[in-house]
Structure 1
Amino acid sequence: IKEASNTGFPDFKRMGNRRTQFMHQIAKSYPIHEVLYKDRIGMDYYSYRENPSLIWKISEEKQKIGIYNTQKATTDFGGRKWIAWFTTEIPFQDGPYKFYGLPGLIVKIGDEAGNYSWELKGNRKTDHIAEASAVEGLMKQTGLFASKEITKEKFTEKYDQHKKDPLAGIRQMMGQIPSDVKISDDFSLSKEMRDAEKQMKEHIAKNNNSIELAITNK
């Protein structure tokens, strides 16, 4: 958040102009029995556990994607129909996002309408697992980016509330500032908040094509 000049307060107007970007994290433990989804809503991080109901229909259609021989499979998930190409040459029943459960690694997957698509560009053996684990351990100890685990239904509810009132958390924080505090003669906190709320609602309205339509368009 860029600070407003000469005030030290956040420039709320810029908050509604951020590019669309994904903040979520996906964690899967092997063998995969459930998916842990973590994302930010407003100023807070939340997570939920899920066992995605993925019923795959495997086709006889095959295709060479990169260096891999793949086979086609389809499924319905999150209000969309997905087309996946998996390879048995990499014996991991996994894939991007929440997708898994095919007899091999998903090399490519996208929704039928062409809104979303993931494709494997390469794989390699990593020697940095220890470093990554150390970072994760430090984050747990310090509470940095810690999330509150809730149900998926509660997550959806909070996300819907955020869409209706995207500055609720900031408004609550600002409510702790004494009313007689003066920033500058030409600075109006209430006007800044109104402008920011308007722009953030416009931003949310323009970026409403979520991966899972069934979550956000109840």
Structure 2
Amino acid sequence: MKKPILIAFILMMNTVFAQTNRFVYQVTAKPNASDKNEVKTENAYLDISPEKSVFYSENRIKRDSVMQANFKSGGARGFKREQMEGLRTNINYTVEKNKADQKTFFKDRIGRDMYMYEEDRPINWKISSETRKIGEYKVQKAETDFGGRTWTAWFTTDLPYPDGPYKFNGLPGLIVKVEDDKGEYSFDLMKNYKIADLPALNQFGNTVKVKRADYTKQLKKFQEDPMAFMGQGGGGPQMRMGGGGNQNPADMRKRMEERIKEEAKRNSNPIELP
């Protein structure tokens, strides 16, 4: 009788440790360089599995679900503008961190395709002896310069994950809060719970692997001349949202170009500065 009980216990423990932990962060940003009074707030997930972690917008997975359902029922024409407006996000990127090789990958869509690069800059923390309490956690202070900003993070060893939101990692505990010194970007842990596994995020278009510098160049080109990235098909699936079936293609392209350029202006204060 003892052997079956032991096997059951081992299986149960493997299940416990194999679970994925979801940490929900409130992300506050001032993305418009010409209007610092404009504050954007939304939630993002940091899902940590035994193999890797993934950081992405909460609205991303909700939007993916709606898009997938609409494509199954009516294709691109099934999209309704008002249905998607409430799922807009300023976090269009995904950050993946692999535990085995300690590599961080950044993914972002430019036009039709998904561009991915491996982060080539280490995050060097200066850990302070200063501690405080944030919510239920005792946290410790750490500082770093990264992406053109100076950041202050508060981490807790109560959550033994050397990880955090965005690209931040490498501290002896999970980052509960991290904020830049200008108060333009902050990530605050709100809650956490367990999920069965990492979700499958929909990906339209091709994945283009590039160097970080090449991604920056391509993004700038896209913002200056978005039609150059669209091709004859008018862009990926997300580019065709909200359109009816009888619109003039030239008018649609013009409105699309104007919208992308306007979004670029509204996001003229990115999280990483040149």
2:210 alignment counterpart: 150
Do structure 1's residue 113 and structure 2's residue 178 form an aligned pair?
no
Q: 1:29 to 1:61 in 2, by over 3 A?
A: same
TM-score when normalising by structure 1? 0.72
Q: Which residue pairs with 2:116 in the alignment? A: 47
State the shift of 1:52 in Å. 3.2
Local SS of the residue matching 2:92:
coil
| Candidates 194, 215, 228, aligned match of 1:125 | 194
Q: In proportion to residue count, which structure has more strand?
A: 2
- Bigger mean CA offset, 46-55 vs 83-92: 46-55
* Per-residue deviation, 1:152: 1.1
Aligned to 1:198: 258
Structure 2 letter corresponding to 1:73: A
CA distance in 2, matches of 1:145, 1:97: 23
Question: How many aligned residue pairs are there?
Answer: 185
Output the CA distance in 2 between the equivalents of 1:105 and 1:88.
7
- TM-score w.r.t. the length of structure 2 is 0.58
Which residue in 1 is equivalent to 2:267? Answer: 207
19-28 or 192-201: which moved more?
192-201
Q: Distance in 1 between matches of 2:231 and 2:119?
A: 32
1:33 aligned to which of 94, 97, 102 = 102
Q: Does 67-76 or 45-54 show the bigger shift?
A: 45-54
Q: Which amino acid aligns with 2:233?
A: M
CA contact (8 A) 1:20 1:207 kept: no
Contact 2:144–2:150, Cα closer than 8 Å, also in 1: yes
Cα gap change, 1:104/1:86 in structure 2, threshold over 3 Å: closer, same or farther? same
**Aligned counterpart, 1:161:** 221
Distance 2:255 2:204 in 1: 30
Give me the identity figure in percent.
39
**2:17 maps to which residue?**
none
> What is the aligned counterpart of 2:230 among 157, 170, 185?
170
1:98 matched to which residue of 2?
167
For residue 72 of structure 1, what is the amino acid of its counterpart?
K
Q: Can you list the C-alpha shifts for 1:137-168, whole angstroms capped at 9, x where unaligned?
A: xx6xxx75652222112111110110111222
**Cα shift at 1:35:** 0.4
For structure 2, the 5+ residue unaligned runs are: 1-66, 68-76, 80-86, 235-244
Moved more, 116-125 or 155-164: 116-125
Provide the secondary structure at the position in 1 that maps to 2:190.
coil
- Decide whether aligned partners of structure 1 residues 188 and 145 sit closer, same or farther in structure 2, where only a CA change above 3 A counts: closer
Q: 1:144 to 1:167 in 2, by over 3 A?
A: closer
Letter in 2 for 1:198: E
CA contact (8 A) 1:48 1:152 kept: yes
In the alignment, is the contact (CA less than 8 A) between 2:114 and 2:205 conserved in 1? yes
Give 2:150's aligned residue.
81
Shift of 1:37: 1.0
The 1:31–1:91 alpha-carbon spacing in structure 2 relative to 1, beyond 3 Å, is farther
In structure 2, the partner of 1:65 is: 134
Could you list the per-position Cα deviations for residues 176-200 of structure 1 after superposition, in whole angstroms to 9, with x for gaps in the alignment? xxxxxxx98xx75445433442343
- Secondary structure class of the residue paired with 1:36: strand
Shift in alpha-carbon separation, 1:144–1:160, aligned structure 2, 3 A: closer
Q: Flag the 1:196–1:144 CA change in 2: closer, same or farther, 3 A.
A: closer
Q: Deviations over 1:89-120 (max 9, x none)?
A: 22211111100111111111011111111111
Which structure 1 residue ranges, 4+ long, deviate > 6 Å from structure 2? none
Q: Which runs of 5+ in 1 are unaligned?
A: 2-7, 11-17, 175-182
